[in-house]
Amino acid sequence: MKALFYISGKAVQHVGCRLRVTSALITAGFEKGGAFNMPDGRVEVVLEGRKEDIERVHKDISDNLISWLKKDADDVNKLVEKIGNPGIKVSDLEYDEDILVLDIGLFSHSLTFDQI
């Protein structure tokens, strides 16, 4: 199946969302998927896999993204100020078989070795 969801809030670009989401997708075993900055300030996440896996990783990202970002932040107070409180919202999944989902390897190049 193919699905997408959005990450939105006061500031979700340039705070590490794409890297953390890509890392979560790789860790969960996805071979196709990625996270993209949108012109409107949101991050779009597309992925392809079994429905159960998609739902599991979506829940994991929804439940943990803010804590992952805080863990990676050099200055947690600066991050919280930038994203607001709670500041980040993960939308519901949208299933659409017409979505173009590329190989996740195309997006993993910006991850550090310990993030893969």
- The CA–CA distances, whole Å, from 77 to 80, 81, 97 equal 5, 6, 40
Q: Which of the 8 DSSP states describes residue 54?
A: H
Q: Are 9 and 67 in contact (CB under 8 A)?
A: no
The CATH number assigned to the domain holding 70 equals: 3.30.70.100
Q: How confident is the model at residue 115, as a pLDDT?
A: 47
Residues 76-97 have pLDDT tens digits of 778 777 777 767 899 999 999 9
> What does the block give as tokens for 37?
């900055």
What domain range includes position 85?
Answer: 2-115
Q: pTM, whole model, 2 decimals?
A: 0.82
Closest CA to 35 of 74, 4, 66, 73: 4
Residues 44-59 have pLDDT tens digits of 999 999 999 999 999 9
Structural domain tally of the chain? Answer: 1
